[in-house]
A and B are shown apart, each in its own frame.
Chain A
Amino acid sequence: MIDNTHSFRFFQRGPSPVVRLVFFVTLSLLLMFVDARYRYLESARSTLSVLVSPIQSLASLPGRIWRDVGDYLTLQSSLKNSNHALQTQHVVDAGQLARLQALELENKQLRDLVALPIRDTYTTTLAEIIYSERDLFKRKVVINKGADAALQAGQVVMDDNGIVGQITRVYPWLSEVTLITEKDHVVPVQVLRNGLRTIIFGAGDTSQLALRYMPISSDIQEQDVLVTSGIDGTYPAGIPVAKVTKIERDAAYPFARITCLPLGGVDRHKHLLILSAQAKLPELPPSEVSVEDARNAKAKRKK
């Protein structure tokens, strides 16, 4: 039907458009299936990204120039103001740091006394966001450091106020950070006030977070600060994540509807900190599992 338009074929043109369409559509669907189900194509992706990244960096150039010109033309008064604010902040921070060091020392001594392992310490890498949200469907940003700075997928990304996200893909010079506000992105947290443990979910379409499975009776209040609990072994404990903004307790539902706002500048900042090492948790005790298995096996045999 389609070939009616050129029924006389004077020249050899290779396969007809329909054949090509079917071939390439099948190829695309196959690639999508493989990419969605398995992670075989990451090396191909990082190879191709070497070709794409010059175009991308060229595309981010106008924005960078605009910002640099803006930086250059800042008023002296605003510089002075910000300098003053930073100095005040520095004095406050220095005081707190001194206290923290004293506490850390004391903590170490106490832990030595009861022979508990010392908590992991982390060094951080500074990176800059090149661009944010390339895809409307995703809450992701791309930062300017990749495999060259020894980044790995799974590392935690934060700013000075709290958790921002997690590295999900590493290219040679770039990496992709999934924000905590991505749909169904999960962070285990605890309420700073009373240590109540729970899990916080990204909402996806807005820059909000939600606590989904909190019973109505749970002790949580507005303005409560949630920090990471460190239970999953991915996010180190004690980093601020979010603040509870609204709680709806409706007796018709078993769970309260709790919305939170992230404390870290998930949508704001240009510079991010990447924690260099992932937390290493001791292995799960295997004995209990095997005992459990054995019991199950026995139960099955009895049946």
Chain B
Amino acid sequence: MALHNPNKTEIQRPVGNLYIFSSIVIAVLLNGLPWEGVALMLRPDFVAMVLLYWCMHKPMRIGIGMAWAVGIFADVADASLFGQHALTYTLLAFGGVVLHRRLQMFDLRQQTTQVLGLFALTYTVYALMHWLIDGDVVWGYFLGCITSTLMWIPLSLLLQGLRQIRVGRDS
């Protein structure tokens, strides 16, 4: 039911900054789990997904600057070049912020196709940067783009659902 236009069936509840912040920290944590080999290839980029979700739903609070800052931390955590994740997350956040009105009109299934494009763009930019600097591309890396897209619906439902629970408890 929530799959079909959640905006009309449910009233948008307010979201606390703490909620947004903790969701991002948990996403960094999930990215940091000891993934190895094939699991690492298939690992969705949780940070990118959560950032995109908030850029779409709360573009006033989580925007391009925030995405860039989170990207810098991701660079430190992954020991990649300074700015590599920051650049991709900036592009992703820009896509999310610019398209947020259109994306909110769609239901979750339609959103998925749009989100695939955004993730594909960010993954391509990341791989391109790597190719420019080190001169090789690992094609398995792009699998993460597909799993990220597949995880979009569960993630959106989860973040939406947790919001309702929190607010319900408060009132």
Q: Which residues of A contact B (CB under 8 A)?
A: 2, 5, 13, 17, 20-21, 24-25, 27-32, 34-36, 41, 44-45, 48-49, 51-52, 55-56, 58-60, 62-63, 131-138, 140, 142, 169, 176, 183, 204-205
B97 within 8 A of A: yes
- A17: contacting residue among B76, B77, B94, B136, CB under 8 A: B94
C-alpha gap A282/B63 in the complex (Å): 56
Residues on A with beta carbons closer than 8 Å to the beta carbon of B34: 59-60, 63, 131-132
Given A137-B130, A176-B79, A28–B86 Cβ distance below 8 Å? yes
Residue with the greatest number of chain A CB neighbours at <10 A, chosen from B65, B77, B91, B140? B77
Residues on B with beta carbons closer than 8 Å to the beta carbon of A44: 82
Given A41-B82, A45-B76, A48-B73, A25–B28 Cβ distance below 8 Å? no
Query: Interface code B97-137, partner A: CB below 8 Å = 1, 0 otherwise?
Result: 11001000000000000000000000000000110011010
Residues on A with beta carbons closer than 8 Å to the beta carbon of B80: 135
Given A28-B86, A36-B81, A20–B76 Cβ distance below 8 Å? no
Residues on A with beta carbons closer than 8 Å to the beta carbon of B133: 32, 36
C-alpha gap A62/B29 in the complex (Å): 11
Residues on A with beta carbons closer than 8 Å to the beta carbon of B130: 137
C-alpha gap A297/B31 in the complex (Å): 58
Residues on A with beta carbons closer than 8 Å to the beta carbon of B36: 132-133
Residues on B with beta carbons closer than 8 Å to the beta carbon of A133: 36-37, 40
Q: Which B residue sits closest to A3, measured CB to CB?
A: B98
B79/A134 in contact, CB under 8 A: yes
Query: Interface code B68-96, partner A: CB below 8 Å = 1, 0 otherwise?
Result: 10011100111111111011001100100
B94/A29 in contact, CB under 8 A: no
Residues on B with beta carbons closer than 8 Å to the beta carbon of A62: 33
Residues on B with beta carbons closer than 8 Å to the beta carbon of A32: 81-84, 87, 129, 133
Residue with the greatest number of chain B CB neighbours at <10 A, chosen from A21, A44, A140? A21
Q: For residue A151, give the distance in angstroms from its CB to the closest CB of chain B.
A: 15
C-alpha gap A176/B76 in the complex (Å): 12
Residue with the greatest number of chain B CB neighbours at <10 A, chosen from A30, A49, A55, A132? A55
Residues on A with beta carbons closer than 8 Å to the beta carbon of B11: none
Given A55-B32, A133-B40, A136-B140, A24–B90 Cβ distance below 8 Å? yes
Residues on A with beta carbons closer than 8 Å to the beta carbon of B29: 55, 58-59
Q: For residue B26, give the distance in angstroms from its CB to the closest CB of chain A.
A: 10
B165 within 8 A of A: no
B1 within 8 A of A: no
13 A/B residue pairs, CB under 8 Å, sorted by A? A17-B94, A20-B65, A24-B87, A28-B68, A31-B82, A35-B83, A36-B81, A59-B33, A63-B33, A136-B40, A136-B138, A137-B141, A169-B79
B145 within 8 A of A: no
Residues on B with beta carbons closer than 8 Å to the beta carbon of A135: 78-80
Residue with the greatest number of chain A CB neighbours at <10 A, chosen from B32, B78, B97, B134? B32
B94/A30 in contact, CB under 8 A: no
C-alpha gap A132/B37 in the complex (Å): 9
Q: Which B residue sits closest to A62, measured CB to CB?
A: B33
Residues on B with beta carbons closer than 8 Å to the beta carbon of A34: 82
Q: Which B residue sits closest to A34, measured CB to CB?
A: B82
B25 within 8 A of A: yes
A142/B79 in contact, CB under 8 A: yes
The 10 closest A-B pairs by CB, nearest first: A59-B32, A31-B83, A28-B87, A28-B83, A32-B83, A35-B82, A20-B64, A24-B90, A21-B94, A31-B82
Residue with the greatest number of chain A CB neighbours at <10 A, chosen from B25, B31, B90? B90
B84/A56 in contact, CB under 8 A: no
Given A25-B90, A28-B90, A32-B129, A20–B63 Cβ distance below 8 Å? yes
Q: For residue A103, give the distance in angstroms from its CB to the closest CB of chain B.
A: 41
B60 within 8 A of A: yes
Residues on B with beta carbons closer than 8 Å to the beta carbon of A204: 136
Given A20-B65, A21-B94, A59-B33, A134–B87 Cβ distance below 8 Å? no
